A and B are shown apart, each in its own frame.
Chain A
Amino acid sequence: MAVVLDARDLNKHFGAITAAMNINAAIEQDSVVGLIGTNGAGKTTFINMITGYIKPDTGSIVYQGRDITALSPREITRAGICRSFQIPQLYSSLSVFEHMMMGLGVVLRNAGLGGYFSRGRPNVPGHDAPAEEVAERILKRFGLSGYRDKNAQVLPGGVRKLLDIALTMVAKPTILLLDEPTSGVSAEEKFGIMDMVMSAVKAEGATVLFVEHDMEVVSRFAQRVIAFYDGRIIADAPPEIALTDPEVKRFVVGGALHRLDEQQAAPHA
């Protein structure tokens, strides 16, 4: 499969702390990649470097053959790489539907549509439908139609997570970076949320990188796992290989793997 994103020799230091050391990762189109590691291992730094929030000290990030290392977050978003956040970043005064319309408005404006002198209801680029229809469609895919007119402030945790991710879909991303999509969500909700997110993302056709601490979620949804420890990549392989790697077991997975082994021996009902 074609490589859509290529991180080459990324290094990042914050004073004496090494946040990234010789990070090399080529991400293939349409793949689902799980990023694992303990807190401070460098997962979020990796995502932040891809999205332009922080710049690597050395190295480069190539997206679809174009070097995006020096671009700003908004330029990278426009190029087709979108992200969600560990703590949902929503607009407290807007309703769920207004969130989508605001995001779609930005997409229209970036495409030179929806400006001061535009008339009618132009189709949103990539979605081929007017903004209202696209908003309803994305909300439906994420199971958010029932919350359409609710203010973001009053939404439950799981719904906030879904809205945060749904908001990234308005730009029709080629690559979607999900920072801990199930953190702060109850154990019962986790798989439901991930099922919904993955089927919605698949429908939109995006490559996914997701940061996750729950190894059950990783083993079930990731096709490939990149394990981080102390700013380095210590494993990069399919989940069944990466999660049984001795270094990964020692530094990343720890006790979680034993629980996973037990659950795999007695699978979910």
Chain B
Amino acid sequence: MSYSAIKVIKEAFTGHRGWKPLWRRPEPKPEYDIIVIGGGGHGLATAYYLASEYKNKKIAILEKGWLGGGNIGRNTTIFRSNYLLHDNEKFYEMSLKLWEKFEQDLNYNAMISQRGVINLFHSDAQRDAYVRRGNSMLINGADAILLNEDDLRKKCPFLNYDNARFPIQGGLWQPRGGTIRHDAVAWGYARAADQLGVDIIENCEVTGFDIQNGKCNAVRTNRGTIKAKKFGVAVAGSSSAVMANAGLQLPIESHVLQAFVSEGLKPIIPGVITFGAGHFYISQSDKGGLVFGGDIDGYNSYAQRGNMTVVEDVCEGGMAVMPMIGKARLLRMWGGVMDMSMDGSPIIDRTPIKGIYFNGGWCYGGFKATPASGKCFAHLLATDESHPNAKAYLLNRFEKGQMIDEKGMGAQPNLH
């Protein structure tokens, strides 16, 4: 069912009785061509691009809980392509371009709002690093503008310029970055994939892989064994646990990242702002809530909740950089399980087991990567070749010393 102005008006006058479920609830079939494990953003996008670009394949998505219940439903909704290293920048810029046509491609309004992303800098060295990064962005066809303090005072008069421990010198601004209604991304991909014949199977947990002679033939689930030729694993924070079922250890740790939203307020924050001298970033949703976050808690966790040390650290950062938010109230806090890789960059690659393909290690950059991740993973699953924009995201890059380490933090996942 396509959404159109006429349809919306007709339904309004007929009591909305004509709207149908966004996706079917099929029983799993005994066999598919390709099974995508994980009904989050990346899994749904992968299935959508598989179905739309590599046709005539029987595809299923297996989701252990409810669709979109992982990190696609618990992030801070930001998209941007402001990376330093070309291997990342070209991938995230591809993603940003896909976001820009998401609504037309999927006939679903995810309220993509390109109100810009500003990364503040507070020292000469930080400025130099941002100039290098801004140039990387421009070299890759993205957009970037260097703001000085005067520019910022005009754009964001509410920042703390005059009483700051770490004075604001300027910012690197990506006007095309912004925010998206995150749940709508999952629903939009689910609806579009379903319409292309993908079976979305919720409450179906993978409990094992049938592997013979180094090749995977089927997955065991709580809803029975399902065969397929290829299996694409896109389960973010659960990567280590799922891949352990296939006997693989990953260069990944699972960490909790907390995020926060305030009560609804009249619009005041123009886009996304990231503090450069502490852990704090913020945007404001179309509904008015201040959506903000900071650093991961730092310890391995699957609890989907964190502790107050980080909450206080984030709010200290917020008060340091924009002390007007003191009287806004934090309404909800939650945690997502981040698949933190060993160099801070993702993996989209084959695994040593034939038939099993892996997509993970997104750290806390996974949401904005959703369309490109889906497209590149679909390309890999369909063609057995890495997509040109994801050629560096290989599983064996750590063995070879070809890390893609944006922050230069080394093999320390909680610092990326």
Query: Do these two chains really belong together in a complex?
Result: no
